Amino acid sequence: MAKNKDSKETKKDIPSQSIKWDLSPAPESKGHIKLQDKYDLFINGKWVKPSSGKYFDTTNPATEEKLAEIAYANDADVDKAVKAAREAYTNVWSRMSGAERGKYLFRIARLIQERAREFAVIETLDGGKSIRESRDVDVPLAANHFFYYAGWADKLQYAFPNRKMESLGVAGQIIPWNFPLLMAAWKIAPALACGNTVVLKPAETTSLTCLKLAEIFEEAGLPPGVVNIITGHGDTGAALVNHPDINKIAFTGSTNIGKIIQRAVSGTNKKLTLELGGKSANIIFEDAAIDQAVEGIVNGIFFNQGHVCCAGSRLFVQEGVADEVIQKLKDRMDHLYVGDPMDKNTDIGAINSKEQFDTIKRYVKIGKNEGNEIYESKCEIPSKGYFCRPTLILDVAQSSTLVQEEIFGPVLTVQTFRTVDEVIQKANNTQYGLAAGVWTDKGSKIFNLTTKLRAGVVWANTYNKFDPTSPFGGYKESGFGREGGVHGLESYLK
Ligand code: ADP
């Protein structure tokens, strides 16, 4: 145990957590991981070379080392995948009973559990997030989504009583890099439970766990063509969106690309759900349990490198406790472990890509140029790889660029408020509406805010809690449609 030499003296009435443990390295082992040098496309139950012959590298953002080469799908490959999905839909999957479909989903869920450690390690190697997060959040939740929707597959008539529900057909699904396996599960599980077939495109920086998921589909004996995985960049996604034989597009990603997709789909018969950006408010009232709230703030924005669309990236603190909360927050930030994502003690791993790393740096610079007070955690960071110190932007105005725009990194803006009406107005004054957090001792205050905050999810005295039974989705430019829960079935049925 060592005293952190950087820890600073705090106000007398606010006790400082001045101890930071010097922890020995505790890296998760990689010995059991088998990665190929090259990954092809998974179409019609087979591994198929891309028609262009092109591949791109996927790298480990913590070390900048190449992990594997990934096939780059073009229009012809997308067409092949959609045809396979259509054939599987018409001849096999839509004809199968719900109970039979459910059995495949249960099998997939169990296989994810069996290979959980392997998936967690690959997710961390490819995406940079801490092994703690991929092991404790991403992989178990992905398995749970398959379990949950497996249970619905033969009970759709109970989910929607007195309505005759039918599957849509072929779903094109495009996912981002922040939760690659989990987003794939969110999208594939309800689609299959409802009787649809799928063509899924993972993000270009994090294709590996989706390709590993394809191995599970093979192992589970899923009929060929029911799920097809095509890898590539934005143009591959665009080819999928524009393919005429797609019945539904489900997209999670940036608001800009969401708008492009919405324009592309308008005027067609394609059904659309969009889960886009966020700038979620985390609101701390004077009567809140302050230590828990500080932990909730850290969990909401820092533990996941800020790589969550619903990250609590705007902090609102009631004036009476502002000094205390900010001091405790700074203190906690100084005690976070930023570094090797494979180390089990690491709180904050690597930023997913050089591009995202540069974006975060650019925003912090904008904050400085706009005259805001910046507080960077004193924690050490590795010299190699893409790592960011947790950062506070203090005394920001509501109009500040950093309050208005999504940064997608461990950067938290801090504003104060006096009254409930004021904080509701400030929290809602954004183009987004994905999530919010409320910290208070009073249940009545919570219920008042949950009805007035324009956000798809409002957490009370907690943050970033997920469960397959709860619907998730946004208001305004955070998108439309819900994923998860019974609501998530509706998006895949007519
Ligand atoms: P993020 O900022 O989270 O990376 P993006 O919206 O850029 O989000 O990317 C999310 C997903 O959308 C990725 O799989 C990406 O390849 C894909 N994508 C990017 N551009 C397009 C496009 N024009 N049409 C369809 N998909 C796209």
Kindly report the CATH number assigned to the domain that includes residue 409.
3.40.309.10
pLDDT score of 3? 38
pLDDT score of 18? 60
159/14: higher pLDDT: 159
Mean pLDDT value across residues 308-314: 94
Is 17 part of a structural domain of the chain?
A: no
Q: Catalytic site residues? A: 275, 309
Q: What value does the mean pLDDT of the chain take?
A: 94
Could you tell me if 267 and 292 lie in one domain?
A: no
Could you tell me if 302 and 417 lie in one domain?
A: yes
Could you tell me if 182 and 228 lie in one domain?
A: yes
86 residue type, one letter: R
Q: Is the pLDDT of residue 135 over 60?
A: yes
pLDDT classification of 22: cutoffs 50, 70, 90: confident
Could you tell me if 259 and 309 lie in one domain?
A: no
Could you tell me if 122 and 236 lie in one domain?
A: yes
Q: How far is the CA of 406 from the centre of ligand 1 (A)?
A: 15
Is 423 part of a structural domain of the chain?
A: yes
| pTM beyond 0.75 | yes
Is 21 part of a structural domain of the chain?
A: no
Nearest CA to ligand 1 atom 7: 254
For ligand 1, pick from 78, 175, 257 the residue to mutate: most ligand atoms within 8 Å of CB. Answer: 257
Could you tell me if 238 and 100 lie in one domain?
A: yes
Is 391 part of a structural domain of the chain?
A: yes
pLDDT, tens digit, for every residue of 218-229? 999 999 999 999
Domains: count for the chain? 2
Is 24 part of a structural domain of the chain?
A: no
Ligand 1 contacts (CB < 6 A) are 174-177, 201, 203-204, 233-234, 237-238, 241, 253-254, 257, 260-261
Mean pLDDT value across residues 203-210: 98
Could you tell me if 60 and 196 lie in one domain?
A: yes
Q: Which domain holds residue 388?
A: 281-463
Could you tell me if 215 and 299 lie in one domain?
A: no
